[in-house]
Amino acid sequence: MTTSDAFISIRSVSKFFGGFRAIDDVSLDIGQGEFFSLLGASGCGKTTLLRMLAGFESTSSGEIFIDGQPMSEVPPHRRPVNMVFQSYAIFPHLNVQDNIAYGLRKQKLPVARRLEMVEEMLDLIKLSGYGSRKANELSGGQRQRIALARALILRPKVLLLDEPLGALDKQLREQMQLELRALQRQVGITFVFVTHDQEEALTLSDRIAVMSGGRVLQVDTPAGLYEMPKTREVASFIGNMNFFRGTVRRNGSAMAAVETEGLGTIPIPVEQITKPDGAPVQVALRPEKFALSATRPDGTLAVEGRLRTAAYLGERSHFYVSIEGKAEPVAVSTPNISRGLDRADSQSGQALWLSWSPDAIVILDTD
């Protein structure tokens, strides 16, 4: 994505709280209609960045553009964005209908039209008939939807969501994720979504920015982030990952390989690696990319190991396998296609073979 067609453009933005650097030179482009997530552990700066988009925090340096307009001089109540707060911030002295219509007051609409719009929103969030309920008569999920409706009724160019599902229980959260995603497609508004839950970010987003220490580590699609993390930090934040130290081996320009501790020499397509011969690299492999077998499988890369521990998790099982040349055991995750953990090779100390396909490996920038 280039700067020119970016709908939200964050240009070299930093934010200091006293001497603390909350946001460290962040540049991001978000496209129109995109479901974009800011993902990171608490304190990584994701909420600060969101609040800067809303206008509740000023930028210490840099500029934010929304739809081509610089935002630094625009106060929060004049920005073309609306926010869904983590606490939902439902006005306790107003009923559902007045909460949803709150922002319409400025538009000086006839009362009938306003009610009609509120009814449409109630319909959209599947709460028709709840208009006269008081805020304290609502459940968490209902409050969340009303906060959403209250923002969406204003047709903002961008909807900002600050961990809106964090307070819900697991089942409701999963249901709301689906609804949120469907709603976003339906209304076509750009969503910027803050979460610390990587699974939620993967499920919902078109693209995700992984943040840490006020910086953006990587911006990519969910699959891109999961399958091709650039750094060890990103790789370990999203899902589980096995890391191996390796050395680049080049043989002219046709072939390249990585000599990896424990896994031997793995051939790599030349274009995947820019490092010169002999350079140290980090090699990463997801636990589910390994296959386990009792005997050496034919035709794939494989290495023999010894089972340390096995855990049955229902839909899948986790194994920790020691291999020669690597101190920590390798984590392996396999789907339980057959019933239960009834494998003959699941006893501790059992010898077994690990195999993987060479295109499953990830070469990380060393850090």
Partner 1 sequence: MAETSLSKSRTARGAPRAFGARLTRYLRRSETARGYLLMSPTLLIMTIGIVVPFIILLVISMWTRQGFSFDTTLTLANYARAWNEPIYGALLARSFWISGVATVATVALCYPMAYYVAFHVHRNKMMWLILMTLPFWTSYLLRVFAWKVILGYEGVINSGLSAVGLIDAPLAFLLYSPSAVIITLAHAWAAFAILPLYVSLEKIDKSLLEAATDLGDGPVARFLRITLPLSMPGIIAASFLIFIPTTGDYITPALLGGPDGAMIGNLIQVQFGAVNNWPMGATLSIVLMLWIAALALAFLLVTCKVQERIA
Contact residues for partner 1, defined by CB under 8 A: 54, 56, 75-78, 81-83, 85-87, 89, 91-94, 98, 102-103, 105-106, 150-151, 154
Q: Which CB sits closer to partner 1, 86 or 203?
A: 86
Q: Which CB sits closer to partner 1, 33 or 103?
A: 103
Residue 178 C-beta: closest distance to partner 1, Å: 25
Q: Which CB sits closer to partner 1, 53 or 323?
A: 53
Q: Which CB sits closer to partner 1, 146 or 258?
A: 146
Query: What are the residues facing 220 on neighbouring strands?
Result: 208
Q: Which CB sits closer to partner 1, 12 or 87?
A: 87
Residue 87 C-beta: closest distance to partner 1, Å: 5
Residue 54 C-beta: closest distance to partner 1, Å: 6
Q: What is the 3-state secondary structure (H, E, C) of 210-230?
A: EEECCEEEEEECHHHHHHCCC
Each as own residue / partner, the long-range contacts of residues 345-351 (CB below 8 Å, 24 or more positions apart, any chain) are 345/292, 345/294, 345/307, 346/307, 346/310, 346/317, 346/319, 347/307, 348/307, 348/308, 348/309, 348/310, 349/306, 349/307, 350/306, 350/307, 351/304, 351/305, 351/306, 351/307
Sorted by sequence, the CB contacts under 8 Å of residue 27 that are 6+ apart come out as 10, 11, 12, 13, 62, 216
Helical (H) or strand (E) element with 41:
none
Residue 85 C-beta: closest distance to partner 1, Å: 5
Residue 29 C-beta: closest distance to partner 1, Å: 23
Q: Which CB sits closer to partner 1, 71 or 362?
A: 71
Return the residue matching tokens 């793995």: 266
335 three-class SS = strand
Residue 64 C-beta: closest distance to partner 1, Å: 16
